[in-house]
Amino acid sequence: MALSNNDIIQVAKAVAADVSVVEHHGDLTLVVKAADLLDVLYELKDNPRTTFNLLIDITAIDWAKPGERYEVVYFLSSLANAARLRVKVGVHEDALHLPTSVDVWEAANWYERETYDMYGIIFDGHPDLRRFYMPEDFMDEHGTPLYPLRKDFPLMGIPGSLPLPPKD
Protein backbone atom coordinates (compact mmCIF):
# COMPACT_ATOMS: atom_id res chain seq x y z
CA MET A 1 0.00 0.00 0.00
CA ALA A 2 1.40 3.31 -0.98
CA LEU A 3 2.23 5.74 1.76
CA SER A 4 0.13 8.89 1.47
CA ASN A 5 1.05 12.29 2.79
CA ASN A 6 -1.83 12.09 5.26
CA ASP A 7 -0.36 8.94 6.82
CA ILE A 8 2.98 10.66 7.32
CA ILE A 9 1.34 13.70 8.90
CA GLN A 10 -0.73 11.49 11.20
CA VAL A 11 2.33 9.58 12.37
CA ALA A 12 4.20 12.80 13.10
CA LYS A 13 1.26 14.44 14.86
CA ALA A 14 0.84 11.44 17.13
CA VAL A 15 4.12 12.23 18.89
CA ALA A 16 4.28 16.02 18.58
CA ALA A 17 1.30 18.32 18.80
CA ASP A 18 2.94 21.30 17.12
CA VAL A 19 3.62 20.15 13.57
CA SER A 20 2.84 22.34 10.60
CA VAL A 21 2.75 21.05 7.05
CA VAL A 22 4.03 22.73 3.89
CA GLU A 23 3.51 21.31 0.43
CA HIS A 24 5.20 22.79 -2.61
CA HIS A 25 5.38 21.20 -6.07
CA GLY A 26 4.50 17.85 -4.51
CA ASP A 27 7.29 17.92 -1.92
CA LEU A 28 6.05 17.39 1.63
CA THR A 29 7.73 19.30 4.46
CA LEU A 30 6.97 19.04 8.17
CA VAL A 31 7.97 21.96 10.38
CA VAL A 32 8.53 20.91 13.98
CA LYS A 33 9.71 22.54 17.19
CA ALA A 34 13.26 21.87 18.38
CA ALA A 35 11.97 20.23 21.58
CA ASP A 36 9.99 17.64 19.57
CA LEU A 37 12.67 17.07 16.93
CA LEU A 38 14.20 13.81 18.13
CA ASP A 39 10.80 12.31 19.02
CA VAL A 40 9.49 13.01 15.55
CA LEU A 41 12.63 11.71 13.82
CA TYR A 42 12.65 8.50 15.88
CA GLU A 43 8.97 7.95 15.24
CA LEU A 44 9.26 8.55 11.49
CA LYS A 45 12.12 6.09 11.31
CA ASP A 46 10.77 3.34 13.58
CA ASN A 47 7.05 3.46 12.87
CA PRO A 48 6.27 0.46 10.61
CA ARG A 49 3.97 2.62 8.49
CA THR A 50 6.53 5.25 7.55
CA THR A 51 9.97 3.56 7.96
CA PHE A 52 12.11 6.49 6.87
CA ASN A 53 15.28 4.49 7.31
CA LEU A 54 17.57 6.34 4.89
CA LEU A 55 18.80 9.80 5.82
CA ILE A 56 19.64 11.56 2.57
CA ASP A 57 21.06 14.82 3.82
CA ILE A 58 21.00 17.55 6.44
CA THR A 59 21.48 21.20 5.69
CA ALA A 60 20.48 24.60 7.01
CA ILE A 61 18.94 27.72 5.51
CA ASP A 62 20.01 31.18 6.65
CA TRP A 63 16.97 33.46 6.32
CA ALA A 64 19.04 36.55 7.31
CA LYS A 65 16.36 37.86 9.67
CA PRO A 66 16.39 38.52 13.42
CA GLY A 67 15.02 35.88 15.77
CA GLU A 68 14.66 32.43 14.22
CA ARG A 69 17.34 33.11 11.67
CA TYR A 70 18.23 29.55 10.71
CA GLU A 71 16.25 26.52 9.71
CA VAL A 72 17.82 23.07 9.72
CA VAL A 73 16.41 20.69 7.11
CA TYR A 74 16.47 16.89 7.33
CA PHE A 75 15.95 14.97 4.08
CA LEU A 76 14.43 11.55 4.72
CA SER A 77 13.74 8.71 2.35
CA SER A 78 11.96 5.43 2.86
CA LEU A 79 13.26 2.39 1.03
CA ALA A 80 10.14 0.27 1.53
CA ASN A 81 7.67 2.98 0.45
CA ALA A 82 9.88 4.89 -2.02
CA ALA A 83 8.64 8.03 -0.26
CA ARG A 84 10.42 11.26 0.57
CA LEU A 85 9.96 13.80 3.33
CA ARG A 86 11.67 16.87 4.67
CA VAL A 87 11.62 17.85 8.32
CA LYS A 88 12.46 21.43 9.18
CA VAL A 89 13.23 22.95 12.55
CA GLY A 90 13.87 26.59 13.34
CA VAL A 91 17.01 27.65 15.21
CA HIS A 92 17.21 30.93 17.08
CA GLU A 93 20.11 33.25 16.31
CA ASP A 94 21.12 33.51 20.00
CA ALA A 95 20.93 29.78 20.75
CA LEU A 96 22.50 27.88 17.89
CA HIS A 97 21.94 24.49 19.47
CA LEU A 98 20.07 21.40 18.31
CA PRO A 99 20.18 17.84 19.63
CA THR A 100 22.21 15.52 17.44
CA SER A 101 20.48 12.88 15.34
CA VAL A 102 23.51 10.60 15.10
CA ASP A 103 21.73 8.10 17.35
CA VAL A 104 18.82 7.94 14.90
CA TRP A 105 20.87 7.57 11.72
CA GLU A 106 24.63 7.12 11.72
CA ALA A 107 24.81 8.99 8.43
CA ALA A 108 23.97 12.20 10.30
CA ASN A 109 27.55 12.34 11.54
CA TRP A 110 29.08 13.94 8.47
CA TYR A 111 25.96 15.86 7.45
CA GLU A 112 25.84 17.58 10.85
CA ARG A 113 29.55 18.32 10.67
CA GLU A 114 29.02 19.96 7.29
CA THR A 115 26.10 22.03 8.62
CA TYR A 116 28.21 23.09 11.60
CA ASP A 117 31.09 23.99 9.30
CA MET A 118 28.97 26.08 6.97
CA TYR A 119 26.49 27.71 9.40
CA GLY A 120 27.94 27.31 12.89
CA ILE A 121 24.97 25.40 14.27
CA ILE A 122 26.09 23.24 17.18
CA PHE A 123 24.65 19.75 17.47
CA ASP A 124 24.71 18.79 21.14
CA GLY A 125 25.95 15.28 21.77
CA HIS A 126 27.64 14.86 18.40
CA PRO A 127 30.61 12.51 18.84
CA ASP A 128 33.08 14.43 16.69
CA LEU A 129 31.90 17.94 15.84
CA ARG A 130 34.82 19.24 13.83
CA ARG A 131 35.00 21.39 10.73
CA PHE A 132 34.22 19.40 7.61
CA TYR A 133 35.56 21.31 4.60
CA MET A 134 37.17 24.42 6.06
CA PRO A 135 40.34 24.33 8.19
CA GLU A 136 39.96 24.26 11.98
CA ASP A 137 41.50 27.76 12.28
CA PHE A 138 39.14 29.49 9.87
CA MET A 139 38.57 32.71 11.84
CA ASP A 140 38.99 36.45 11.49
CA GLU A 141 41.76 38.50 13.12
CA HIS A 142 39.83 38.74 16.40
CA GLY A 143 39.62 34.97 16.71
CA THR A 144 35.89 34.74 15.86
CA PRO A 145 35.14 31.61 13.83
CA LEU A 146 33.82 32.22 10.33
CA TYR A 147 30.99 30.29 8.73
CA PRO A 148 31.07 30.72 4.95
CA LEU A 149 27.47 29.97 3.95
CA ARG A 150 25.98 32.53 6.32
CA LYS A 151 24.47 35.41 4.41
CA ASP A 152 26.74 37.97 6.13
CA PHE A 153 29.88 36.21 4.89
CA PRO A 154 31.15 38.04 1.78
CA LEU A 155 31.39 36.16 -1.50
CA MET A 156 35.02 37.20 -1.98
CA GLY A 157 36.04 35.82 1.40
CA ILE A 158 37.90 37.70 4.13
CA PRO A 159 41.55 38.56 3.41
CA GLY A 160 43.91 36.95 5.86
CA SER A 161 41.40 34.46 7.22
CA LEU A 162 43.18 31.52 5.57
CA PRO A 163 46.89 31.93 6.38
CA LEU A 164 49.42 30.19 4.20
CA PRO A 165 51.86 27.73 5.76
CA PRO A 166 55.02 29.43 7.13
CA LYS A 167 58.06 29.71 4.88
CA ASP A 168 61.17 27.80 5.93
Give residues in contact with other proteins (CB under 8 A). 22, 24-25, 27, 29, 53-57, 59, 61-62, 73, 75, 79, 82, 84, 86, 105-107, 109-111, 114, 118, 128, 130-137, 148-149, 153, 155, 163, 166
- In whole angstroms, the minimum distance from the beta carbon of 21 to other proteins comes to 13
- In whole angstroms, the minimum distance from the beta carbon of 123 to other proteins comes to 16
* % helix, strand, coil for the chain, step of 5: 20, 25, 50
Query: Between 11 and 62, whose beta carbon lies closer to other proteins?
Result: 62
- In whole angstroms, the minimum distance from the beta carbon of 24 to other proteins comes to 4
Query: Between 13 and 77, whose beta carbon lies closer to other proteins?
Result: 77
The DSSP call for residue 166 is P
Cα-based torsion angle of the residue sequence 127, 125, 83, 15 in order, rounded to the nearest 10 degrees: 160
**In a 3-state reduction of DSSP, which class is residue 103?**
coil
**Which string of DSSP letters, residue by residue, matches 3-50?**
PPHHHHHHHHHHH-S--EEEEETTEEEEEE-GGGHHHHHHHHHH-TTT
- In whole angstroms, the minimum distance from the beta carbon of 148 to other proteins comes to 6
